[in-house]
Amino acid sequence: MLLETLLPLGKVDPGLRAPEMPLDLHSIAADARLLEEIGYDGFVVEETKDDPFILLALAAQATRTLKLGTSVAIAFPRSPTVIAMSAWTLQKLSRGRFTLGLGTQVKAHIERRFGMPWTPAGPWMREYVRAVRAVWDCWQNGTPLDVKGPHYNINLMVPLFNPGPIEHPAIPIHVAAVNLVMCQVAGEVAEGIRPHPVCTPSYIEKIMLPAVRSGAVKARRSLDRFQVCMKPLVATAANEAELAPKVRDVRARIAFYASTPQYRAAFDHIGLGDLADRLKLLSRAQRWEEMPQHINDEVLHTFATIATYDTIGRKLCERYGGVVTNCEFSIAVKNDADRERLRQLASDMQSEGVARARRTILGTAA
C-alpha cells in the first residue's frame, strides 16, 4: 500500500476525547522532511483545528518528493473559485505533488457552524467539483468560464485575477464518502475516495466500490488510476501495557461514530443498526462517558486494528490490502529507535503493493 500520515506522528482521531498530542505548527517542516527521509509516500492534513492549506504550504516548501493532500478540506463553506485558487497555488509551490481532498460535512455543521443554507450533498458535490475543474480549465487553457447550475453561476474571470497556466495542471480530486450517492459522485467526477474510518473492508468492497463503478460507467470514465485512501481506526503501542489506554480510546471513537446518523449505513451493513440507535440517544442526552461501554470486544475488533508495533503493519496489510491503495498510519517518533521502527513499518506496509486493491476497485478480483 501507499503510505501517508497526518501530523503529529502517531496522531489518532480522538472522537469523544481530547487529542493526546496537539499539533505544533512550528514542527511541520521538520516532520515533513522526516517523512520524506523515511520513505513515506505522502503527508495529508484534515480540516479540524487549523487551516489545511497553510499547513501544506509549510510542508511543500520543506520537501521535494513527498506527496501532499487535504484529507479533507470542507468544500461547501468555500466557493469553487476560492478552493480552486488554494489548490492551484499549492500545486505550483509543490511542483505537482498536491491532491485536493474534499468533504461535505454534515448538515448541522454547514448550517450552524458555517452559517450557510444546506441542500442535498451529492448533487452539490458533483456540481462543485465540475465548477472547480472549469475554473482550472479557464486558467490553464483559456476556456471561457461558464458554470451554470442550481448552486453556482460562475462566468467572470478577468486578467487581474487569472493566475494563468502552471506546469502541472492535472490536480487529482478525492471525495470523502460513506453513503452510496457520494460514492457514485466520486466515480463520476473524482480520482479517488476517502472512506470514513468506520467503513470496514467488506463495506468498501461490497457497497462503496460498486457505487463508484456505477458512477464511472455513467460518466464514461476509467477507474484505472482511481485511489481508495483509508484512515483506519488503529490502536497500537510498543507493548501490551501501553496498548491498554489506546484500546480504551478507540472504543470511544467507535461509540462516537456509531451515534452519528450519517455513518449509519456502515453499521447497518454488519447488522449493528440497533447499536447505532442506542448510541444516538445517549449522544443526544450528552451522556458521552457511558457510550464506550456499549462497544463490546466483537464490535471493537470489527472496526479497529489492534496490535503492538511488531505486528501492526502486517495486520493492517492483511485487513486493507485488498481494498485500499493509500493507508494513513504512523507512530510517534521520540528518539532514534522510534525513527527506525517507523522506517521498518513503512517499508513493510509499502511492500504490499496495490495490485490486489486495484483489482477490487475495477471489479476484477477473483
**93-127 confidence digits (pLDDT tens):** 999 999 999 999 999 999 999 999 999 999 999 99
| pLDDT above 60 (res 132) | yes
Q: What's the grid cell of residue 180?
A: 452510496
Query: What's the confidence (pLDDT) of residue 15?
Result: 53
Query: What's the confidence (pLDDT) of residue 352?
Result: 86
Query: What's the confidence (pLDDT) of residue 18?
Result: 56
Strand partners, 230: 327
Give residue 12's pLDDT band: very low, low, confident or very high (50, 70, 90): confident
Q: Mean pLDDT in the chain?
A: 95
Higher pLDDT, 88 or 366: 88
> What DSSP state is assigned to residue 294?
G
| pLDDT above 80 (res 21) | no
Give residue 361's pLDDT band: very low, low, confident or very high (50, 70, 90): very high
At residue 211, what is the residue type?
Answer: A
pLDDT tens, position by position, 239-266: 999 999 999 999 999 999 999 999 999 9
Give dist(CA 329, CA 102) in Å, integer. Answer: 20
| 3-state secondary structure at position 110 | helix
| pLDDT above 70 (res 20) | no
Residue for grid cell 464490535: 299
At residue 223, what is the residue type?
Answer: L
Q: Are 87 and 98 in contact (CB under 8 A)?
A: yes
Q: What's the grid cell of residue 86?
A: 488554494
Query: What's the confidence (pLDDT) of residue 108?
Result: 92
Single out the residue of 218, 203, 313, 307 nearest to residue 257, CA to CA. 203
To 10 degrees, the CA torsion angle through 272, 274, 276, 282? -150
Query: What's the confidence (pLDDT) of residue 169?
Result: 98
Give residue 13's pLDDT band: very low, low, confident or very high (50, 70, 90): low
pLDDT tens, position by position, 181-215: 999 999 999 999 999 999 999 999 999 999 999 99
Query: What's the confidence (pLDDT) of residue 366?
Result: 63
Which stretch of DSSP H or E encloses residue 132? helix 121-141
Single out the residue of 44, 37, 92 nearest to residue 63, CA to CA. 37
Which stretch of DSSP H or E encloses residue 141? helix 121-141
